Amino acid sequence: MQALTLKKVHKRFAQVTAVDFLSLQVEEGWIYGLLGPNGAGKTTTIRMILNIIQPDQGHIFLWGEKGAAFTDRVGYLPEERGLYRKMKVLDLLVFLASIKGMRASQTRAEALRWLAKFELDAWCQRKVEELSKGMQQQVQFIACVLHHPDLVILDEPFTGLDPVNTSRLKDVVLELNAQGTTVILSTHQMEQVERLCSHICLINRGQKVLDGRLSEIKNEYGQNTVRLEFDGPKTFLNTSPLIEKMDLYGQYVELRLKPAADPQELLRTAVQRTFVRKFEIVEPSLNDIFIEKVSLADGDERPE
C-alpha cells in the first residue's frame, strides 16, 4: 500500500512558486530520500504532507485518505528544532505524544524506555534548557517516534550530532524501518542517503528532477565512473578525449567518462604516462548525480 501519494501538488507564496505540480509515491516500508538544494521546496512539501499548510492545487493522500485524517500516524522531526525550554524532558515528551492522541499513562514508561536507549534517562526530570544541543535533538527525535507513527518524516536528522550519536540514530531509524515504519528522510548528507535510502526523489525549484529506486538510478548513470590513484603528472587528464568530467581529491581523481568511452583505453594511457597504483570502475556517487542534475536543471533555465 502507498503510505503517501502526492498528485500534482502546487503551492505558491505571494511571488514565488514553492512547489510546482509535484507528484510522488512512497510505498509502505520504504526509506525514501527527499533531496534537493536549499530552497527547492522540500520543507513546503513536508508541511503540506503534514497538513500544516494546504496546497493551492493537487491532492495529498496518506494511506489513501485526503486531509488530516491520518496525520496522527505521522511523526515529524522538523529541520528547525524546537522544544519548550522550561519544561521537564519527560513532561514534554508526554505532552507531545498526547497531542498525537496517546494516553499519558501509556506514554510515560514508553518515553523512559526511549530515553534509556539514547542514554538520556538520567535527564528525564531536568528542564530541556539544561540539555546540550545534541541531547535536545535526540529528545526531539524521541518525541517524533514516541507515538508509534507508521510514517516518520525526518528533516536533517543528523546535523549537529557527533559520530557516535549519528551512528546510533541511524541504527534506530533502520530498526524502526525493519519493524515496518515508513521513513522519509530529507537531508543534504548524501552519504547518509546512500547508506539508508532505498528510494529517492530529487526536487529542484519545486519540480521533480529524479525519482526512483536508488540502485536503478545509479545503474542508469552507468559504469563509466573511474577512480584512479597514481603518481606522476596529471596533465594527461586534461588532454584525454575520453573524459567528460573530473573531480580532483587529495589522494585520487574521480573521472566521468564520455558515454562511448572505453575505460580500458584510459587505463592504457594512464599506465604509459604515470605509475598507476589503483584503478577502479565505481558507481557514480549520489553526490555527483545530485550536483549534475541540479546544475543541469539550472542550466536549462538560465537562457530564459
Binding residues for other proteins, rule: CB under 8 A, are 47, 50-53, 68, 71-72, 74, 76, 78, 80-87, 95-96, 98-101, 103-104, 140, 143-144
CB-nearer residue toward other proteins: 65 or 220: 65
Question: At its nearest, how many Å lie between other proteins and the CB of residue 54?
Answer: 10
Q: How far is the CB of 249 from other proteins (least distance, A)?
A: 37
Task: Give the nearest distance from C-beta 50 to other proteins in angstroms.
Answer: 4
Q: What number of other Cβ atoms are within 10 A of residue 258's Cβ?
A: 13
Instruction: Name which of 291, 230, 231 is nearest 256 in CA terms.
Output: 291
Alpha carbon dihedral 99, 50, 193, 199, in 10-degree steps, equals: 120
* Closer by beta carbon to other proteins, 88 or else 208: 88
For other proteins, the closer of residues 62 and 161 by Cβ is 62
**What's the rounded Cα separation, in Å, for the pair 157 and 139?**
12
Count of CB atoms within 10 A of residue 4's CB?
23
Min separation Cβ 79 and other proteins, Å: 9
Nearer to other proteins, 100 or 293 (CB): 100
In the complex, what is the shortest distance from the CB of residue 66 to other proteins, in angstroms, rounded to a whole number? Answer: 15
The Cα–Cα gap between 257 and 241 comes to: 9
Q: Is 136 or 165 the residue whose CB approaches other proteins more closely?
A: 136
Cell of 216: 536503478
Concatenated DSSP letters of 103-122 = -HHHHHHHHHHHHHHTT-GG
Nearest alpha-carbon partner for 138 in 113, 179, 168, 110: 168
